[in-house]
Chain A
Amino acid sequence: MKRSRRGGYWVFLLPSALLFTAVVVVPFLMNVGIGFTRWQGIGAPKWIGLDNYTRLLADERFWASFRNNVALIVAMAIIPTIIGLVLAATLFDHVGKKFGPRTAGALRAAYYLPQVLPVAVAGIVWGWIMHPRFGALNELLGLLGMEPRNWLGDPSWALPSVMAIMVWFQIGYPVVIFMAGLQRVDPALYEAAETDGASWWRRFWHITITQIRPEIYVVLLTCTIAALKVFGPIFVLTRGGPGGATLVPSYFSYQNFFEKANVGYGSAIATVLTLLIIMVTVFFLRIQDRES
């Protein structure tokens, strides 16, 4: 009896299971398959076994792209999470209480704005801001008596510049999630701590962080995945340049797939990237399970 009841629910899963199979599983398996071939995108693929993968492991650009990707995980997941926590707590505690929830809401929306802007538009505007000769940023620094820099064109500055832009892009997302999380926290906890004379920092550290730990995991996980997949901003800002200084795996895969007609090699890179994302996800979920 009970079993048949449970069976009834499967019907509701069917539509999404079909969609998932058609949109995710089948293309992914095809991609894995193409990764074992030499193919120019048209004609018949030629089976070459693990050649793409051996080539990949020896490819300096592939490793460089992953190094850059680690930097972007820092810029897109770790830094925004830290800043987001502080901002959310400040908005929730101080701004919300002193200036009312409306002000806090308006500020939250302002932080979230970069998430809403199309990447292409924001990227081009940032390109103008950072233009070495006519950019607003260098003008500003000039007024402060500082040296102008070639932000996106100098190999030692390009990656830090992209990282800074990515922090700006990402910051709104953790703020919104954490503020929602803080709504759950029982005010009595804060009141008790305050009566005991705990400072704001101690309350932040012991109550805020521990209470909204699930939100922190969600944000870290989704932002890390976003950082591993990052493509648009790189495409618009630097195309992986100068001289490969900001190359990331997704753009590297795209280059091979579309620009170089190395579809097999591009697929192999995409497969490695997917496996990595799955591993990161499993790792996070494991930790979360253990925590709870």
Chain B
Amino acid sequence: MFKVRTGAVVAAVLLALAACGGAEQTPDQPAAAGPRVLKLWHYEGADSAMGKAWAESIKQFEASHPGVTVKLEEKAFEQIRQSAGMILNSDEAPDVMEYNKGNATAGLLSKQGLLTDLSPEVTKRGWDKLLSPSLQTTAKYDERGVMGAGKWFGIPNYAEYVLVYYNKDLFEKEGIEVPTTFDEFTAAMETFAKAGTTPLAVGGAEYQAQQLLYQLALSKAQRPWVDALQLYKGKVDFKGPEFTYAADTFADWVKKGYIGKDSAAIKAEDMGVSFIGGKYPILVSGSWWYGRFATEIKDFEWGSFLWPGNTMSAGSSGNIWVVPENAKNKDLAYDFIDITMRKDIQNLLGNSGGIPVAADPAAITDPKSKELIENFNRLSTSDGLAFYPDWPAPGYYDVLVSGVQNLINGTKTPDQVLDEIAGPYNENLADIGN
């Protein structure tokens, strides 16, 4: 009885919906017949560099594909991160979507056969010619779902890296020049600390503090160490010189007052806002802050530079376009990706505060954006992108947050923290490919 009633209601609602959306096509229609729809998902804000560039891409796509409409469904980063697997497993999958790069995300989905192998398209359309080797790492995954080799499952459209933002006014006030070596950098922080200012804005509750720790490890590291840690091409000694130096120095910086003793529970958002508010002279974080600083910092002059003395820095391609295995309009998806790689779209991305992967350097006119992109190119050409510390294992992010919080609060010695973060990494190593 009850069941029959709901059935009738559902049917009535469906009829009503069908009456409203007469132009809506059934998704299973053959490709050639009638109007088509490209279902697109991404999670970039409309006023971000990517948001602007992709809005323009949609326009161009619709102009060059008469009879096709693009149905953009804006998602939240968290939404995609937590439920992508389940959605892609159903027939609700979009035709093309932005997805997080890395072993625990795109790698995992590729291993499960949920993503389309893009290799033939890559060769056909020459996307591989546009992407530098270190950008290609996050686009390819092997049969274990490990990045860096194997088939192409995604196409990065932009890039990102960790750099040093600084408040020019506060630097001038203390008479400090932009540091070019690590020693100068430390000396600058010492000057601020002596003057009673905590030099570094740190967010211990989220990603930022662990990236700072990683920058310190990278200052003592070579490429093989990164390959071992991130691509499992060898054994990583967590008590080796790289991590030991990082943990010891981090703890030392807390002691010296370069890192606030009260920064363990600060979220990234609050950290960024405090820099925007001129409360801290230095913020070490990703290029994703760039556009926001450009629009929101009004009261002082600011600039950015690469972490002094490092040949490598945390950074990688941005998130990638993937085409779900269950996508119904793969041909349209490839066309759309191709448009986002065009010079004019890439230039727009660069002039909007993003880091394009295939722009024309001469077309970037904004001086600040030029600086950001030039620094990125310097890293990229010297093979200096070292990915992110939380990538090697699923859920490693939380492990690192907890470890770095213990460093900030002094609840564990650097040595104990290294043990804390080594455990889950090695556990995951045993699971690779299972």
B395 x A241 contact (CB < 8 A): no
A273 at the A/B interface (Cβ < 8 Å)?
no
Q: Is A160 in contact with chain B by the CB < 8 A criterion? A: no
Please classify how large the interface on chain A is, using the bins under 10, 10 to 19, 20 to 34, 35 or more. Answer: 20 to 34
Residue from B88, B104, B405 in contact with A261 in the complex, judged by beta carbons closer than 8 Å:
B104
Residue of A nearest to B265 (CB): A153
- Closest-by-CB residue of B relative to A133 is B262
Contact of B401 among A152, A239, A260 (CB under 8 A): A239
Query: Is A154 within 8 A of B85, CB to CB?
Result: no
Enumerate chain B residues within 8 angstroms of A127, measured Cβ to Cβ. 267, 270
- Contact indicator B265/A150 (Cβ below 8 Å): yes
A243 at the interface (CB under 8 A from B): yes
Bound complex: CA A152 to CA B203 (Å): 13
Tell whether A37 is near chain B: CB-to-CB under 8 Å.
no
A259-B397 contact in complex given A153-B204, A154-B409, A238-B205, C-beta closer than 8 Å? yes
A238 contact from B86, B260, B265, B274, Cβ within 8 A? B265
Which residues of the partner chain B approach A255 to less than 8 Å between Cβ atoms? 395, 398
The count of A-to-B residue pairs whose CB atoms sit within 8 angstroms is 109
Query: Which stretch in B107-115, B163-171, B233-241, B246-254 binds the other chain?
Result: B107-115
| Contact (Cβ within 8 A) A40 B264 | no
Q: Which residues 8-66 in A have Cβ within 8 Å of B in the complex?
A: 11, 14-15, 18, 38, 40-43
A127 to B408, CA, bound (A): 19
In contact, A41 and B85 (Cβ under 8 angstroms): yes
Quick one: closest B residue to A151, CB to CB? Answer: B265
Hey, which chain B residues are within 8 Å of A18, CB to CB? 2-3
Segment 269-324 of B: residues with Cβ below 8 Å from A: 270, 274, 279
Report yes or no: B264 in contact with A154, Cβ–Cβ below 8 A: yes
* Pairwise interchain contact B405-A150, C-beta atoms closer than 8 A: no
Are A262 and B263 CB-contacts (below 8 A) given A242-B204, A243-B406, A243-B411? no
* B179 → A minimal CB distance (Å): 25
Per-residue contact bits, chain A 127-148, to B (CB 8 Å; 1 contact, 0 not): 1000111100000000000000
Query: Does A244 make an interface contact (CB < 8 A)?
Result: yes
Is A181 close to B, CB under 8 A?
no
Is A155 an interface position by the 8 A CB rule? yes
Given the known A-B contacts A42-B108, A42-B112, A155-B411, are A241 and B264 also in contact in the complex, defined by CB atoms under 8 Å?
yes
Q: A150-B265, A153-B409, A155-B405 are in contact. List 19 more A-B contacts (CB 8 A).
A: A14-B1, A14-B2, A42-B88, A42-B89, A42-B112, A132-B260, A133-B274, A153-B263, A153-B405, A154-B409, A239-B205, A242-B408, A242-B411, A255-B395, A255-B398, A256-B395, A261-B108, A261-B395, A262-B395
Are A242 and B265 in touch, CB under 8 angstroms?
Answer: yes
Q: Does B412 interact with chain A (Cβ within 8 Å)?
A: yes
The CA of A155 and the CA of B108, in the complex, are separated in Å by 34
